[in-house]
Structure 1
Amino acid sequence: MSFLDFHFFSESLALTCSAHVILPQATTRQIGMTSGKQRERYPTLYLLHGLSDDHTIWTRRTSIERYASERNIAVVMPAVARSFYQDMASGPKYWTFLSEELPALCQHYFPLSDAREDTFAAGLSMGGYGALRLGLARPEKFAAVASLSGALDLARRLREVDKPFARIDRKEWTGIIGPDLKAPADSNLWLLASKVGASPEPRPAIYLSCGTEDELLSESRTFRQHLDTLGLPLTYSEGPGAHEWGYWDAQIQRVLEWLPLRQS
């Protein structure tokens, strides 16, 4: 595998930004690593970080490079600050960057497939929300998406913005969403799922996972019920674990095994 610290200018963000990119490399002499068959274009997982993290976190806290090598898949890990994957009311357009500009840039610079069947997203906490939003708002582009301990209920967070336990306070949410604190319909996972469920267009496969000791468990359970009602393709997993990296390291391995990767 090769690891790239990718620095580039984003038109959407109007700034130079960074992403970590892991690319498969066909080798015969690399000790301790699995090498897959060389391909002209590789399937790609867009792997998203949580609220307090950045694009470096998955390589620092897990063995994602080794796991990706075993599946012969590329991984793109962007940085979106504390944007909650939104086009911010008083800040950069991180949703446009993530959903449109970043895939196009990566497919231009790297040997990544642009086929829907080869394009996936996953993330933890805030990134779990971002990954599901990608799949449900862009079902024509993403074949499968996964949420690990996802902070899925944006509307609830905006209703409870003044409560002591809020991770994002009113001032910060105002900068993200706007002073009315009402998220647009294309930010609401429940509404997006209903739209996909009523559409004849392809539906992304969805993986939901959360630890039973995680304070966000109820959000995954509630969203699971919603997806089941809509008949959307869902794999659901919950088991012992809290909001921590031991759980996410184990789960990202399951996600990579679950992805519907096509044979080269």
Structure 2
Amino acid sequence: MSDRRPSAHRRGPSRRTVAKAAALGVAGVLAGARVASAADVTVSRLGPRTYDLGVPSAALGRTAPVRIILPTSYADRPGRTWPVLYLLHGAHDDYTSWTRETDIEAFTANRDLIVAMPDGGPTAIPTRWRTGLDYETFQLQEVPAVLSAGYRASGVRAVAGVSTGGYGAMAHAARHPGMFVAAASYSGIPDTTATRMPTIIEAIVARENLNPLSLWGDPTSDSATWQDYNPMARANALRGTALYVSVGSGSLSTPVAFIVAIALLISGGVDAVLPGALESLVAPSTQSFVAELGRLGVPVTQHLYRGGGHQWSDWKREFVTSWPVLAAALGVPA
């Protein structure tokens, strides 16, 4: 998406509006939210409904970006609040990916909801890192507080993500039952301890020149921490949340996919990784997650399809397929 900014639109929320709302007590909007009482949220207008926010984050120790898309009738209906759909990006990408790779702006026109796309860091694993970075708090406390105070966001929320963002969607919903009415994962990692998954997760972290142990520690000696942040280990907590999960089988056998993907990730050639190879590699994570939901009797809408790749062409289709699940839970037109 182009970064060209159209002329100012007098009806949109201003920098003053958001900063004032934050200064008046954003910290109290959500219980326990770690938000500075005088946060100076910056606002850049990108289009009639689309804004980039700069949110000062105590959890991250920096100002972090969030892209939002407001409802078409936002300015005309000042007395109402709006449900929020959180869209999480994948590894080695950023918060702009959903507007860059999809038609989410046009898709959500006249659908009466706010879309929020928060920063998930270079790995897009939105968790509490051992280094002290806390993307979980940023995405689940600080961002919702700003949206509630400055943009009339309601407490009705759904979350969806691609790849490691799909991990985030299921982890957020499982670790915080009741916060989201729906969660969707497209080619995600909802079982972080599935066969070979710890190695691929460590490779994703290393690809960003970070110490793999800075995430959750060693998968063996710190297995309790790995399980604490593993959505599958908390699958029973997803009962009552509308769920959609999908993944393809990819194009290679798992051992071959593992060798190809790991070699390219470690060498820094992630962009050259065959989408089909990566999809073959992450598929077992979703498959085991679905099996566990079935064992527990937790309802889920699943689409485990043949072929496919770890790529936006598949994820765009899956988002549209999942929309009735998300829309029904959010109470917006399907």
User: What's the TM-score, normalizing by structure 1?
Assistant: 0.83
Counterpart Cα distance in 1 of 2:216 and 2:185: 22
Report the equivalent of 2:96.
56
Is the counterpart of residue 166 in structure 1 residue 232 in structure 2?
no
Report the equivalent of 1:192.
234
The share of aligned pairs that are identical, in percent, is 30
Counterpart Cα distance in 2 of 1:66 and 1:140: 29
Instruction: Write the mapping of 1:1-264 to structure 2, written as runs, cut at 5 A.
Output: 2-26=49-73, 40-81=80-121, 82=123, 84-114=125-155, 118-156=156-194, 160-161=198-199, 166-169=203-206, 172-178=211-217, 180-182=221-223, 183-194=225-236, 196=237, 203-213=240-250, 214-215=279-280, 216-239=282-305, 240-259=307-326, 260=328, 261-262=330-331
Counterpart Cα distance in 2 of 1:104 and 1:188: 26
Task: Report if aligned partners of 2:185, 2:246 keep a CA contact under 8 Å in 1.
Answer: yes
Query: After alignment, is 122-131 or 230-239 more displaced?
Result: 230-239
Report the equivalent of 1:33.
none
Counterpart Cα distance in 2 of 1:235 and 1:56: 27
Residues 157/98 of structure 1: CA separation in 2 closer, same or farther (3 Å cut): farther
Residues 24/52 of structure 1: CA separation in 2 closer, same or farther (3 Å cut): same
- Return the offset for 1:17: 1.0
Q: Which of structures 1 and 2 has the larger relative contact order (alpha carbons within 8 angstroms, sep 6+)?
A: 1
Task: Report if aligned partners of 1:158, 1:181 keep a CA contact under 8 Å in 2.
Answer: no
Could you report, residue by residue, the CA deviation over 1:45-65 in whole angstroms, capped at 9, with x for unpaired residues? 111011111100110011111
Task: State the aligned residue count.
Answer: 247
Higher CA-based Rg: 2
Counterpart Cα distance in 1 of 2:284 and 2:79: 41
Q: CA RMSD in A?
A: 2.8
Counterpart Cα distance in 2 of 1:80 and 1:154: 17
The one-letter amino acid of 1:89's match is R
SS in 1 for 2:109: helix
Unaligned runs of 5+ in 2: 1-47, 251-278
* Ranges of 4+ aligned residues in structure 1 off by more than 4 Å: 36-39, 156-160
- Return the offset for 1:83: 5.5
